Structure 1
Amino acid sequence: MTENFDHQSEISSTVPVVEARALRKEYSQFTALDDIHFTAEEGDWWGIVGPNGSGKSTLLHLLSGILSPNQGTIHIKGKPVQDYSRKELSRIIAVLQQDGLPEIGYSVRDVVAMGRYPYQDWLGRDQGFGEEKIEQVLKKLDLTSLAERRLDELSGGQRQRVALAKVMVQEPEILLLDEPTTFLDVRYQLQFMDLLAHWQQSTGITIIAVLHDLNLASLYCNYLCALKEGQLFLQGTPAEVLTEENIRGLFEIQPVMVQHPDHHIPQFLLRKQQE
């Protein structure tokens, strides 16, 4: 089942921020992705969803330039991703992995400052307003009081906020997230997603996030890209993608669909597989 409901089919005079065409990625005899088409415009928030092993993280790594496709093309702001140097690309794209930051002995301030690497010259001097930006982000994420604490003294939720601060001072135009809420409890999941939403609203950054929680994806994302067995299953708005029929086909479960009482968006409940 492959459909494309969204604005990707519309004629636009602007160059997409991210454009992938006919992507194929193989590992030895295994095909992780096949014939994937994906476009993100400036200010979009895309959620990449689907079962385990469907190719979600592989797609994210291809878009970031970490991996190269066996076939197909990826353009970032109209330019082939492979034509960027790593430093050039890091001024445009920031990547936050699933495990965030390890429990290391560096201070919060030192770790956040590492996000300024793309703006440093060969002597390590920041070519922008690095210190000012770091202080602004620490304050925005309520990390000022923790600035001199070591990462290995923080909770998982605090470390994830530090990871977000590190990519925020990087000042990217595109943020790629690989299951950023996996190891967070419900409170910190909402806090983290709210911080992302505020950042996007204030800057117009484009966000592409791999998410397992479909209800969170529906609550925060403008568009969803659903993958199954390495192929494009469906793309569209949460209302278009998250229907009972589509979830049943994507995950092979029997969901109960409801409407969020505040936001009027689809949410789903689980049924027991066997009564």
Structure 2
Amino acid sequence: MTLRIENLKVGYRHRTVLEGLSPRPVAPATLVGVIGRNGAGKSTLLKTIAGLLPGQGLVHFGDRPLDATQRARTLGYLPQSLPQPSSLLAYETVYSACRAAHGGLDKEQLEQNMESVFSRLGIRELALRRLDQLSGGQRQMIGLAQVLVRQPRLLLLDEPTSALDLHWQLNVLQCVQQFSRELGTLSLVAIHDINLALRFCDELWVLAGGGLLAQGPARDLLTPAVLRTAYGVEARVERCSLGLPMVLCDSAMPAYQP
């Protein structure tokens, strides 16, 4: 199903964060990286699509508005906050979260989904460990498993690699990329690491100045001018030995105000 957003206005109380947001519709099986400086509205946008913040404008998924019923059936959302330490086993945490959000999934199918997700994420050894015995990065992986095991059609991930080392950053984004392509899931990932976004995302949304500065194919979109406007840096895009694009920052602009 296609995601269509038109003239979206979002914010907190009397402070508008994004206004007039109308990106081009996004097709299924697309991994979109939502990038921009701190405070640009990445988390706010995902929370609004997830129904956690009110917004004005149109958000359609498929041929109908994205309402509470459709969100419960089709949407998976991972916030920045980590699952809290508790005496629950990681397996129990994922199982109970999925049953609560997706009551129509039978036990056998749920257990198959869990086995697949734990294996793909490389966290099978964590399944029978208590959450209060896990590191922050490990709990972040369990939080991602809670979302993926439901096999949502629309996936919203807010900084899913923030607590992870290099190995797990690559592992998570590879898994999300495969998940999106194999199941036809449309995924929006708010991410700070531009080079990870360039490597794994099909498309980028660059937020700046209270709106959408740029949208397009990840490997073509970023230019020195876009990076200057979005981040206040003098930067360039080069190619590594594998032919992959990389952003190299040369300096911060002195007059830049975050």
Query: Which TM-score applies when normalising by structure 1?
Result: 0.84
Q: Is residue 30 of structure 2 the alignment partner of residue 44 of structure 1?
A: yes
Task: Select 1:30's aligned residue among 15, 19, 22.
Answer: 15
Distance in 1 (alpha carbons) for counterparts of 2:205 and 2:170: 21
**Aligned-pair RMSD on alpha carbons?**
2.2
SS of the counterpart of 2:91? helix
For structure 2, the 5+ residue unaligned runs are 254-258
Q: Alpha carbons of 1:40 and 1:116: their partners in 2 closer, same or farther (altered >3 Å)? A: farther
In the alignment, which residue of structure 2 is the partner of 1:108? 90
Distance in 1 (alpha carbons) for counterparts of 2:89 and 2:251: 46
Number of aligned residue pairs: give it.
252
Distance in 1 (alpha carbons) for counterparts of 2:115 and 2:11: 43
Cα deviation for residue 128 of structure 1 reads 6.7
Give % identity: 31
Contact 1:47 1:225 in 2 (8 A): yes
Q: Is residue 143 of structure 2 the alignment partner of residue 160 of structure 1?
A: no
Q: Alpha carbons of 1:91 and 1:233: their partners in 2 closer, same or farther (altered >3 Å)? A: same
Letter in 2 for 1:178: D
Alignment of 1:1-275 (within 5 A): 16-38=1-23, 39-69=25-55, 71-82=56-67, 84-85=68-69, 88-113=70-95, 114-120=97-103, 126=106, 129-262=109-242, 264-273=243-252
SS of the counterpart of 1:138? helix
Letter in 2 for 1:267: M
Contact 2:239 2:246 in 1 (8 A): yes
Letter in 2 for 1:168: L
Contact 1:119 1:128 in 2 (8 A): no
Distance in 1 (alpha carbons) for counterparts of 2:245 and 2:201: 12
Contact 2:120 2:175 in 1 (8 A): no
For structure 1, the 5+ residue unaligned runs are 1-15
Distance in 1 (alpha carbons) for counterparts of 2:123 and 2:76: 20
Q: Alpha carbons of 1:26 and 1:40: their partners in 2 closer, same or farther (altered >3 Å)? A: same
Q: Which moved more, 1:72-81 or 1:134-143?
A: 134-143
Deviations 1:189-226 (A, max 9, x none): 11211221222232221110111111111011010011
Distance in 2 (alpha carbons) for counterparts of 1:36 and 1:75: 13
SS of the counterpart of 1:54? coil
Letter in 2 for 1:47: G
